[in-house]
A and B are shown apart, each in its own frame.
Chain A
């Protein structure tokens, strides 16, 4: 069992425990902790795929990348 899975289990247990006790502020903190941890893992997975693409000699598609960034930025700024 790796540390990431243990962390997820601890958070899930904590959310259940503190929800039952009505401690919504603690539940909120725990959910944010998990969200930040997942964000780090997702960014890392994205860049691992980029590493693989570079290693296999895929061409750099700047236009597609710029379009994806523009779309994400627009969505985020509209929130």
Chain B
């Protein structure tokens, strides 16, 4: 990979870190467990939509596509459980439904993280270790 490509990878990684104000706003706007669960499901929807778009544009192909599909296949039941637990908590808020919802949120958080990594890997920012001296040809 040449220097220009590596530099673009660094910029992409920076953008991925910087361009997340909407995501932070959504989680901060959620008040309580139920709304947090709702935001997580919306986050999942947005990620799968993007995976679909990338695959449609032939940017997510081959083994990367297969891996992303495996993650989505495994994670969908976890997000469905989260949805059910949130609605059960909404109907009857007690210690049992709150515990179930907290467990479902924890499981869904891991699933979301895996899916985010799969999409980031399309740009090579997760898979390619980038060092500043590789980019600029000098020691940072």
Interface residues of chain A, those whose CB is within 8 Å of chain B, are 3-4, 7, 10-11, 14, 26, 29-33, 35-37, 39-51, 54-55, 60, 62, 65-66, 68-69, 72-73, 75-77, 79
Contact = CB atoms under 8 A, between A and B. Distances in A.
A3 B69 CA distance: 32
B22 A31 contact: no
A77 B69 contact: yes
Contacts of A10: 8, 11
Nearest to B57: A35
Contacts of A60: 34-35, 38
Interface string B25-61: 1101111001100110111111111111111110110
B138 interface: no
B23 A43 contact: yes
B2 A72 contact: no
Contacts of B1: 29
Interface of B is mostly: helix
B15 A73 contact: no
24 contacts: A3-B11, A4-B19, A26-B5, A29-B124, A35-B59, A35-B122, A37-B19, A40-B120, A41-B15, A42-B49, A43-B47, A44-B19, A46-B22, A46-B45, A47-B25, A47-B39, A51-B26, A54-B26, A54-B29, A60-B38, A65-B45, A66-B41, A69-B76, A76-B51
B45 A69 contact: yes
A65 B48 contact: no
Contacts, number: 170
A38 B9 CA distance: 13
Given A29-B124, A44-B20, 17 more contacts: A33-B123, A36-B12, A36-B120, A37-B12, A37-B15, A37-B19, A37-B123, A40-B119, A42-B46, A43-B50, A44-B19, A47-B46, A54-B35, A54-B39, A68-B45, A69-B48, A79-B69
B123 A36 contact: yes
Given A47-B43, A54-B35, A33 B23 contact: no
A40 to B, nearest CB: 5
